[in-house]
Amino acid sequence: MSAGKKILWMLIGVALTLVLICGLCAPLVLLGSAFQSVSAPSPTVSGPAVALVRLEGVIISGEPPANPFMDASTAAYSGYIVKQLKWAEQEETVKAVVLRIDSPGGSVVASHEIHQQVAAMSKPVVVSMGELAASGGYYVAAPADVIFANPDTLTGSIGVIAQFLDLSDFLADYGITATTIKSGKFKDSGSAFRPMTEEEKATWQTIIDEAYEGFIKVVAEGRRLSVAEVKALADGRVYTGRQAKELKLVDELGNLPDAIRKAGELGGIPGEPEVIEYREPFDLLRQLLRAMPSSDPLTRIVSALRRAQSPILQYLYLAP
């Protein structure tokens, strides 16, 4: 067989393989879409219960991505967290809520959305802190009725941050320049193609200070502390659960079972309360794709650079 015919048959084989894969994936996509159409779970319990809502990972605005190729399991989406809290509020059998937090924080806007819903709950809300409940993770906990932390939980990190990349020297080494056409001197503030001016830094500092004052107010109101008391400990550092209890940032030292028992008590549930947990609707295609290897390091670096080009205010603890 000639080389030309071999190439032709190889191309035909590739085409047929792609058609077969598409044919197999189509039912999975439809199946996943069918499961995703479920608007709210209907948990079955025999009596009054405590709802367990998990807030795990970096806090991000909105809902988990509908794109099955994106993994939503490593982030806490504000829309979905708020939705679960509202389900718990509406469910008659639910008498109290435990919000389990294991998060370094994240978006200022997303943290505020969750915080507002926690504050609006008419049913008791008990927070259980895991390994980490810092910055935005603490922000959303502040209005809870009772906050539990493990003695070795890292919490606090009360503060605001925004970061900008300056790649100008790196690009210059490779002879790469950028031309920017803009309508005002601040239009490209934070651009990675040049250093920030002192005036731009001052402008961003004003924005950071405004968000910081909002954080201070939330903690002061939620923990019944004075603004001066909060500012004295709100320098961005993290505290252990033991230290946080001494500083009145948390109420009790304990783990998730302790928080569940306390929630049952506040909800008037005698004995050991039943626990219901809202789960992300099952999506077969997404679960299969999550089992596949993650993207290569270069793709992840490019993705991080893209995010850096769109800076947002963050209540975020940046672990070393």
Q: Give the pairing type, strands 154-156 and 238-240.
A: antiparallel
Contact 26, 74 (CB under 8 A): no
Q: Give the pairing type, strands 94-103 and 146-149.
A: unpaired
Distance between CA atoms of residues 127 and 152, nearest Å: 16
Q: Is 39 helix (H, G, I), strand (E, B) or coil?
A: coil
Distance between CA atoms of residues 75 and 58, nearest Å: 5
Contact 99, 140 (CB under 8 A): yes
In angstroms, how far is the first alpha carbon of the chain from the final one?
Answer: 61
Contact 136, 56 (CB under 8 A): no
Single out the catalytic residue among 182, 185, 187, 217. 187
Looking at the chain, the number of H-run helices and the number of E-run strands are 11, 12
Q: Give the pairing type, strands 49-56 and 58-60.
A: unpaired
Distance between CA atoms of residues 313 and 320, nearest Å: 20
Q: Determine the residue type at 75.
A: A
Contact 129, 149 (CB under 8 A): yes
Q: Give the pairing type, strands 125-134 and 94-103.
A: parallel
Q: Minimal CA–CA distance to 182: which of 171, 190, 174, 170? A: 190
Strands annotated E in 117-221? 125-134, 146-149, 154-156
CA dihedral 287, 292, 294, 295 (to 10 degrees): -110
Residue 217 known to be catalytic: no
Single out the catalytic residue among 135, 157, 191, 262. 135
Residue 95 known to be catalytic: no
Q: Catalytic residues, which ones?
A: 135, 187
